Amino acid sequence: MNHCGFLSPEAVLYACTAYDHLNTAMEICEKLGRKFYNGVEAEDYLMDAGWVVVRARDIYGRIGYPQLSDEHKLVYLTDEQVSWLAEHYAEWPQDKQQSVDYILDHLNRR
What are the residues whose beta carbons fall under 8 Å from the beta carbon of 90, sequence distance 6 or more? none
Of 16-20, 70-74, 96-100, the range with the lowest mean pLDDT is 70-74
User: Is the separation of the CB atoms in 40 and 30 below 8 Å?
Assistant: no
Q: What's the number of domains the chain is made of? A: 1
Q: Print the domain residue range for 57.
A: 5-107
User: Could you report the per-residue pLDDT of 10-50, keeping only the tens digit for each?
Assistant: 999 999 998 899 999 999 999 999 999 999 999 999 999 99
What is the pLDDT, as a whole number, of residue 73? 80
What is the pLDDT, as a whole number, of residue 69? 73
